[in-house]
Structure 1
């Protein structure tokens, strides 16, 4: 019984050396694209985009569905390389370090998460992701990052990306970001939402304010939507940077990610451009070295 429980846990977090099951296939993802036509066309994001969040007992999930102005071949090729994932994950302001490594169970990412511009790396939280290429077909791609442990009582992190080609050189993408938590994680989230996160909101509109302006979802679902959006914008900014010469790509994606987040200042603004750009240039240099 104990061995069976361990095996099932390994399957859940993708650590047994077996390819995890795909979230969908090409037909299912195309059907989802058709179902979301109205939401993708008519939304407040200024993009062909739809965000969904769910809160379950001890688990939060944010899904971003988007039409990318990038061909499927570019998307699938870029997201099949763990090192490219580090270039993507480094763009959000709170990722302080990322380096692709080869572990006993295959490729992975060594990541540090923090907040402050001048925060020493040893004070940032370490998250070790395993990376899986779940599917790589001519009409369907999926890759997944999994980490059994995260900061302050969080666990079972999953970042999944699935995509199918569309007409006119576009791609339909689903990004899913989720994590689990126990008592410690719940208390940490309550402390955050009661202090620095008290006024922060997500993207889903849940009503109207007294002045008629949209009322956005708050709390833990607001937090998961902000993080999912940051990762989606990082993917899109990275893909956009591939359209310029290699020497210009770093600056293109750093500036591009900041520009994209500034379209949603209430949800995503954390610092000014000069601070962000200087920070990411330094963190990119640090990314080139393997650090325990």
Structure 2
């Protein structure tokens, strides 16, 4: 008897019930979202940890989302096609070994880089066992990252909802030590100064415009949103012919980020498309 398996299944049942409850209690919040899509975002900043959570209704059938990112044989490789859309992801390769499925992911800057100048994380990919076919959960977990960051975690869970759509919960979090705290403060004091997240914390007195959270909490909100938009961009491109899907994914992601220029604009479209085409070809060649 596999005790851990039973524990995992029981946890998945609890997660499924919690996600249903969250959806039922969030309908009004989702319907009146400021994001121009049925979505809301929450974030937490502590002395040593950052966490972002997004809850959203996707206009994709649950079976499509499940097959692409959880239950299908190509799901781990599909995650690489999702992650590479993010500006800071420079490479991703899924490999099955003695320790299960590993996603080798390189983090870098928002410009073209050689892989030797980036940092490689190893994400352990795990599909959470579930007692029902109407819930799935996937975890990507990496123990260590650059500059004393650690405990990287990406969790995606989903359930079907009315209208042949999918209610999704995405979590992105990591912990950091002194070196990581110093690096983030340096970034926020230089090229990251003036950058904000999505949580409104008041009004600008002179203009009446919304004032948004900044600093480290703004950082986690921006990246959580980028990963969410990558998931949606990938799923939206699945209906295109195979030879057109990469261009469609890139276009979808860039267009979606440009809906939030105050938070997410970093690069012009031609530069993004050129950089990502090169990175994707490098990913294919190395894989």
TM-score by length of 1: 0.90
Match of 2:94 in 1: 100
Q: Kindly indicate whether the alpha-carbon contact (under 8 Å) linking 1:99 and 1:289 is maintained by their aligned counterparts in 2.
A: no
Mapping 1:123-272, distance limit 5 Å:
123-136=117-130, 137-210=132-205, 211-272=207-268
Runs of 4+ with >3 A deviation: 18-24
Q: Kindly indicate whether the alpha-carbon contact (under 8 Å) linking 2:250 and 2:273 is maintained by their aligned counterparts in 1.
A: yes
**Residue segments in structure 2 that go unaligned for 5+ positions in a row:** none
Q: Kindly indicate whether the alpha-carbon contact (under 8 Å) linking 2:149 and 2:176 is maintained by their aligned counterparts in 1.
A: yes
Match of 1:29 in 2: 19
Q: Taking structure 1 as reference, are residues 179 and 120 closer, same or farther at Cα in structure 2, changes over 3 Å only?
A: same
Q: Deviations over 1:236-264 (max 9, x none)?
A: 00000111111111111010000000000
Q: Taking structure 1 as reference, are residues 31 and 154 closer, same or farther at Cα in structure 2, changes over 3 Å only?
A: same
Secondary structure of the structure 1 residue equivalent to 2:216: helix
Asked whether 1:39 is paired with 2:29, we answer: yes
2:282 to 266, 282, 286: 286
Partners of 1:193 and 1:245 lie apart in 2 by: 41
1:109 to 100, 103, 114: 103
Partners of 2:107 and 2:23 lie apart in 1 by: 33
Range 157-166 or range 237-246, more displaced: 237-246
Range 271-280 or range 32-41, more displaced: 32-41
**Residue segments in structure 1 that go unaligned for 5+ positions in a row:** 1-10, 12-17
Q: Kindly indicate whether the alpha-carbon contact (under 8 Å) linking 1:58 and 1:180 is maintained by their aligned counterparts in 2.
A: yes
TM-score by length of 2: 0.92
Partners of 2:201 and 2:14 lie apart in 1 by: 29
Range 156-165 or range 281-290, more displaced: 281-290
Q: Kindly indicate whether the alpha-carbon contact (under 8 Å) linking 1:135 and 1:143 is maintained by their aligned counterparts in 2.
A: no
Partners of 2:256 and 2:246 lie apart in 1 by: 15
Partners of 2:215 and 2:12 lie apart in 1 by: 30
Q: Deviations over 1:136-190 (max 9, x none)?
A: 5311010010000011110000000000000111000000000001111111111
Partners of 1:277 and 1:129 lie apart in 2 by: 26
Range 250-259 or range 54-63, more displaced: 54-63
Secondary structure of the structure 2 residue equivalent to 1:253: helix
Asked whether 1:68 is paired with 2:53, we answer: no
Range 112-121 or range 124-133, more displaced: 112-121
1:122 to 86, 98, 116: 116
Partners of 1:185 and 1:261 lie apart in 2 by: 26
Secondary structure of the structure 1 residue equivalent to 2:33: coil
Match of 1:7 in 2: none
Q: Deviations over 1:175-212 (max 9, x none)?
A: 00000011111111111111111110000111001111
**Structure 1 residue 116: Cα displacement:** 4.6
Partners of 2:280 and 2:8 lie apart in 1 by: 31
Secondary structure of the structure 1 residue equivalent to 2:163: helix
